[in-house]
Amino acid sequence: MAITGVLRPGHVQIRVLEMGPALKHYTQVLGLREVARDDKTSRVFLKAWDEHDHHSVVLREAEEAGMDRMGWKVDSPATLKRLAADIEKSGLCTELGWIDAGEQPGTGQMFRFTIPTGHVMELYAERTRLGNNCGTAGEDVNPDPWPDGQTGISPSRFDHCLLYGDDLDGTVKLFTEVLGFGMAERVMAGPDLIGAFLSCSNKAHDVAFIRQPVKGKFHHASFLLGSWEQVLRAGDILSRTKTSIDIGPTRHGITRGETIYFFDPSGNRNEVFAGGYSYYPDKPAITWHADDLGPAIFYHDRKLNEAFLSVFT
């Protein structure tokens, strides 16, 4: 197993204005499965069908939409302690601290910190495994390729987030020099870095950041589909359910992925995403220039949708 340290995005906690409409969207339209509730904190926990861990999406009812925090699973408790010490030593983060096991259901101790762009991140090593309902019990023995009873778009997993913030340089330094991510793609405005697509695995990106004069803003959470045909089917489902679509189906130049963007009832942007390429640490970073950003974001239209840049929560 070559991937060590930070393994993958583990969860995203999204603020929603009303839990009823939000749950209908995330379970019936997007097609996630509810696995737990915490009435004391007004939170509901969900997972996609091919995720074995207890949950990957947390919805919290609040007065303002957006993202509370993003979590990352690491390979072991020893790595969790090492990375926590490295983050503290770096001096790049604020509001650092340990969170007791059980703050999220089935989840061990977490280390929480605020990165230079103002986003709250969490690292954890342990989470209860529920399996993927493909006929497995305990260990993966003779599973089916997909489970019965899928609803809505039904992505296989939570894939990545795109986040907006001001101190992009500090955040990139943290992710690349402390957490061990690679820079898969970048967007430059002259000599200035304005976009970073970062990978801790062999995906085209596990998180992306865009420089904006704000802190801690949430552009979208993305969920993985298996093919371009499934992205087109997602568009049909979104239209049938009268879900607000931002743009697509289309293709990105950055990452080469096929995509459609849409909004939950609180105004949080979702994406379902397929394709892309395999990233390895020895792959040179792809560079895009801001003066020709249209095809980088929307390869087919070759022009930007203004709402894509200006609407965030």
Paired strand residues for 127:
107
Average pLDDT over residues 146-171: 93
3 pLDDT higher than 60: yes
Is residue 84 within 8 A of residue 190, CB to CB? The reply is no
- What's the angle, vertex CA 40, arms to CA 37 and CA 45, rounded to 5? 25
Global confidence as pTM: 0.94
Catalytic member of 205, 219, 258, 279: 205
Token output for 209: 């950041």
**Dist CA 35 CA 170 (whole Å):** 36
**What confidence tier does 301 reach under pLDDT thresholds 50, 70, 90?**
low
Q: Is 205 one of the catalytic residues? A: yes
CATH 1.10.10.10 fits domain 157-310: no
Q: Is 271 one of the catalytic residues? A: yes
Distance of CA 287 to CAs 172, 190, 200, 226, 274, Å?
Answer: 15, 11, 19, 26, 21
Mean pLDDT of the chain: 91
Neighbours of 149 (CB within 10 A): 8
CA 192 to chain CA centroid, nearest Å: 25
Catalytic member of 54, 119, 160, 219: 160
CATH 3.40.50.1970 fits domain 6-124: no
**Dist CA 285 CA 193 (whole Å):** 13
1 pLDDT higher than 60: no
Q: Is 52 one of the catalytic residues? A: no
DSSP 108-175: --EEEEE-TTS-EEEEES-B-B---SSS-BSB--S--SS-S---TT--SEEEEEEEEES-HHHHHHII
**pLDDT number for residue 149:** 83
**pLDDT number for residue 121:** 98
Residue of 132 and 165 predicted with greater confidence: 165
**pLDDT number for residue 248:** 82
**Dist CA 167 CA 75 (whole Å):** 28
Catalytic member of 11, 55, 219, 252: 252
pLDDT digits (tens, 9 = 90+) for 7-41: 999 999 999 999 999 999 999 999 999 999 998 99
> Residue 237 belongs to what H/E stretch?
helix 228-240
Q: Which residues contact 197 (CB under 8 A, 6 or more apart)?
A: 183, 184, 185, 186, 204, 205, 208, 254, 255
Segment among 144-153, 261-270, 302-311 with least mean pLDDT = 302-311
- Residue the block writes with tokens 């009435």: 39
Q: Is 220 one of the catalytic residues? A: yes
Catalytic member of 26, 164, 261, 279: 261
Token output for 122: 């969490």
Domain with CATH 3.10.180.10 in the chain: 6-124, 157-310
135 pLDDT higher than 90: no
Token output for 151: 């609803």
**pLDDT number for residue 145:** 81
**Dist CA 236 CA 106 (whole Å):** 35
